[in-house]
Chains A and B, each alone.
Chain A
């Protein structure tokens, strides 16, 4: 089974802090994604990466950055956390082959609260 592991299930941080969310997958997937999920807004793509050291902006990249130094690990960074970044953050991965029809597999999410 595909395993996508997010480092924390719950996290509480303060405004202005630099926050790191980590995600690791064990299936040698090329693509990795970061979403946030908010009530009434569904999933919104923040960033994705299709290879090591490669990254592409999603729909809402402002206030975030990412790092992919190794194939299995994709980190989301909140440069200076703000209260409007309080959300559920979801990491996903999939294989690149098949021209995008491969299903994405998700981690259990990190519920981040910014005080």
Chain B
């Protein structure tokens, strides 16, 4: 299973873009990159996922490097409610169809 490496914490000013990096140098060709976040005392919230191309939805953008060894989650205009732990996950291939493995994630603090 491909592992991911994320910085343990980051700060961001309210209203500015938050750029959260993730390294996944051992990712295999058919593995997707997923991002989730978890606000204290709540369940993980799905944000976005991608395979090769950059992706954008109403919450965020996902930029994947051409060699797929790293990616960046971008929250374009961070708000205080975006303060959470953000997890970058490479989807485990195989028959279980879902065994998500969360690492330690990045604790993002959005400050006024």
Contact = CB atoms under 8 A, between A and B. Distances in A.
A71 B26 CA distance: 36
Interface stretch (B6-14, B60-68, B75-83, B99-107): B99-107
Nearest to A35: B100
Given A109-B42, A109-B43, A104 B100 contact: yes
B-side binding surface: helix, strand, loop or mixed?
loop
Contacts of A58: 96, 99
Contact of B102 (A43, A105, A107, A111): A43
A56 B52 CA distance: 31
Interface in A35-78: 35, 42-43, 45, 48, 50, 56, 58-59
Contacts of B97: 31, 48, 50, 96, 100
A96 to B, nearest CB: 7
Nearest to A106: B43
A25 interface: no
Interface in A80-113: 90, 92, 94, 96, 100-101, 103-109, 111
Interface residues of A, number: 26
Contact of A45 (B42, B51, B91, B99): B99
A90 B96 CA distance: 17
Is the interface on chain B under 10, 10 to 19, 20 to 34, or 35 or more residues? 20 to 34
Contact of B43 (A42, A90, A96, A100): A90
Interface string A12-44: 000000000000000000010101000000110
Select the residue from B34, B41, B103 with max chain A CB neighbours within 10 A: B41
Interface of B: 32, 34, 41-46, 49, 51, 91, 93, 96-104
10 contacts: A31-B97, A42-B101, A42-B104, A43-B101, A43-B102, A50-B97, A56-B96, A101-B32, A105-B46, A108-B43
